[in-house]
Amino acid sequence: MEKEKIIIIKSRFLAEIGNSRNEKELYDIKVKFVGRNGELTKILKNLKNLSAVERKEIGPLANQARQEIEGIYENRKKELGSQVDWEKEKIDVTLPGEKISRGSLHPITLVYREIEKIFSSMGFEVVEGPELETDWYNFTALNFPLDHPARDMQDTFWIKSPKEKMVLRTHTSPVQVRYMEKRKPPFRIIVPGRVYRNEATDAAHEHTLHQFEALVVGDDINVGHFKYIAKEFFSAFFGKQINIRLRPSFFPFTEPSFEFDISCTVCGGKKCPSCKNSGWLEIGGAGMVNQNVFVSAGYPRNKYQGFAWGFGIERLAMMKYKIDDIRWFESGDLRFIKQF
Ligand code: FA5
């Protein structure tokens, strides 16, 4: 009698558990059979009322059935746990997708690329140099005598170093000598790069900025070549005819030296508020390479001639995109960056 009951309990348990859909249902079924008042528990509790012979037969059967039920319960629990709840996972394909916001290039990168494109089309090589520079390349090799007041023109950040005096380069000009040490003329290069100045910032001045150097050297390069290349470049960059004006100036590494201006990109030279009614916009410094610089690079004196120029990329970007304050560039402000 008890033996048949155990067999029936087992098969009913199996049938019910097979239909369970979640852990709550599963647990209730378990309690129904092996809980404190469960059907199998009752048989186990009743063992003491059976004869010794029956107890010997039914006892192990009931205990084995209990173990089997526990085992089946655990397996089913795992099974249900790994099942996907399709109600919860339902995807509404009619919902609009989430918009992925795309980044954009920084205006300095845009200007870099434009400069490199125009100069590459004129046969120039693009060259780079280190931002942490020796005193020699940044100043001495460029004909700044030691302790000469001309060094004050480019107030800078000095770095303590055990061997040589090191400096965060103040301009891209040191790459002139670095390049010439390795190459012989004729050549034409541009050097875009980041430079540093120890200065109080304002709408027109930054401590971290970008410059762009050009250097053309050969047997008979003259100021006329400079004016032609500058005119070609600025006309291509601004997409309109640009004129160049030179004014006398001083740099230790050029002789003669000049500041150069371009005709106002807004009024074309007719005078307007953008050019402070002068018709011209200041761009940067330039000149014919000083023979002392050629000598620093290991060239013989008076064998070659060349021109060099350098100007601030931020200033150029400000003109192109009509940006009113140089401090926007390094601000990391997304409202600014996202406009490009
Ligand atoms: C120089 O740095 C020279 N190396 C340029 C040069 C190269 C002359 C080759 C001759 C031959 P200067 O210190 O004037 O020169 O700087 C050149 C340009 O860098 C400036 O016209 C300006 O556009 C930019 N610039 C310099 N300092 C700052 C600053 N603190 N913030 C923003 N732009 C600056």
Q: Is 315 in the pocket of ligand 1 (CB under 6 A)?
A: yes
Ligand 1 center–CA 235 separation, angstroms: 21
Supply the pLDDT for residue 193: 97
Residue nearest to atom 5 of ligand 1 (CA): 310
Residue nearest to atom 32 of ligand 1 (CA): 205
Nearest atom (ligand 1) to Cα of 326: 32
Q: Is 312 in the pocket of ligand 1 (CB under 6 A)?
A: yes
Distance (Å, whole) CA 27 – CA 91: 30
Containing 218, the helix (H) or strand (E) segment is strand 208-218
Q: Is 193 in the pocket of ligand 1 (CB under 6 A)?
A: no
Distance (Å, whole) CA 164 – CA 7: 94
Residue nearest to atom 19 of ligand 1 (CA): 312
Helix, strand, coil percentages, rounded to 5, for the chain = 45, 20, 35
Q: What is the three-class DSSP state of 299?
A: coil
Q: Is 319 in the pocket of ligand 1 (CB under 6 A)?
A: no
Q: 3.30.565.10, 3.30.930.10, 1.10.3720.10, 2.40.37.10: which CATH number matches 107-337? A: 3.30.930.10
Distance (Å, whole) CA 329 – CA 206: 9
- Give mean pLDDT in consecutive 10-residue pieces for the chain, a chain of 340 residues: 88 89 88 92 91 90 92 87 75 86 91 96 97 94 81 72 85 98 98 92 92 97 96 95 94 96 88 87 94 98 98 92 92 90
Taking the domains of the chain in order of start, what are their residue ranges? 2-89, 107-337
> Would you say 310 and 286 are in contact if contact means Cβ atoms under 8 Å apart?
yes
Distance (Å, whole) CA 170 – CA 209: 9
**Which residues fall within 8 angstroms of residue 150, CB to CB, at 6 or more apart?**
144, 250, 252
Pocket test for ligand 1, best of 167, 211, 217 (most atoms within 8 A of CB): 211
Q: Is the CA virtual torsion 320, 325, 327, 332 positive or negative? A: negative
Distance (Å, whole) CA 274 – CA 140: 38
Residue nearest to atom 3 of ligand 1 (CA): 310
Burial 145-183 (b: 16+ CB within 10 A, else e): eeeeeebeebebeeeeeeeeebbbbbbbbbbbbbbbeee
Question: Taking the complete model, does pTM exceed 0.85, yes or no?
Answer: no
Pocket test for ligand 1, best of 115, 179, 251, 325 (most atoms within 8 A of CB): 251
